[in-house]
Amino acid sequence: MATSEKNAAVAEITEKLRASNAAVVTSYTGLTVAQLKTLRRSLGENAQYRVVKNTLTKIAANEAGIQLDEHLKGSTAVAFVTGDPVEAAKGLRDFAKDNPALVIKGGVLDGKALSADEIKKLADLESREVLLSKLAGAMKGKQSQAASLFQALPTKLVRTVDALRAKQAEQGGAE
C-alpha cells in the first residue's frame, strides 16, 4: 500500500471513529464472505462493519483520542456504530452465538474503553426505546399516585367536616 493510500485509510478510519458513538473490535478468522455479508446486515443501518489493518487502525485511534491498542492483534474488523450501541452489540452477540469464529475483542463507547465482557453486558440491556417507555410508564404511575393523594385530602376534609356537623346537630338536638 502506498503512503498516500495509507494516509487516506488512516484519515477515513479516524473520521469513522470520531463520528461513531461506539466501535466494537472483533476477530473474524474463519468466517466466509457470505457470513460477513450476513453479519453486516444483522447490525442494522446504524452500524458499519469493516475489515481493517491493525497498524493503520492504531494510528487512527490515537489521532481520534481512543485507546484500542490491546484489541488490535490478529485479524481485525471493527463495527463502527452511529446509532444505538445496544442494538449493534446484540447483533454481534447473536451472530457470534451462531458463528463461534466471530470473537468480540473489546471496543469503545463514548470514548470509554470496553472489554469483551462489558460489550456482552451492553448487549443484554434492553433497547433505548424500551427503557424510555418503561421510564415514561413509571413516571405516569407516580403522577397518578400523586393525583390520587391530592384528591384524597379534600375528600377526607369534607367527610370530617360533615361528621363534625352531624355530631353537633346530634348534640344540639339532644339538649
Please tell me the predicted confidence (pLDDT) of residue 173. Answer: 60
Other beta carbons within 10 Å of 89: 28
CA–CA distance, 59 with 70 (Å, rounded to integer)? 13
| Closest to 117 in 3D by CA, of 89, 77, 76, 75 | 89
CA–CA distance, 173 with 103 (Å, rounded to integer)? 89
The tens place of each residue's pLDDT in the chain, 175 residues long, gives 668 888 888 889 888 888 888 889 988 888 889 888 888 888 878 888 888 888 898 888 888 888 888 888 888 889 898 888 888 888 888 888 888 888 888 888 887 888 888 888 887 776 667 767 877 777 776 777 777 777 777 777 778 888 888 888 888 765 5
User: What DSSP state is assigned to residue 46?
Assistant: T
User: What DSSP state is assigned to residue 65?
Assistant: T
Please tell me the predicted confidence (pLDDT) of residue 131. Answer: 67
Q: Which residues are CB-neighbours of 122 under 8 A, at least 6 positions away? A: 85, 86, 89, 109, 114
Helix (H, G, I), strand (E, B) or coil at 2: coil
The C-alpha cell of 114 is what? 470496553
| Closest to 84 in 3D by CA, of 22, 13, 17 | 22
Assessment of whether the complete model's pTM goes beyond 0.75:
no
| Closest to 122 in 3D by CA, of 93, 98, 97, 95 | 93
The C-alpha cell of 57 is what? 487502525
Asked whether 27 and 102 are in contact (CB, 8 A), the reply is yes
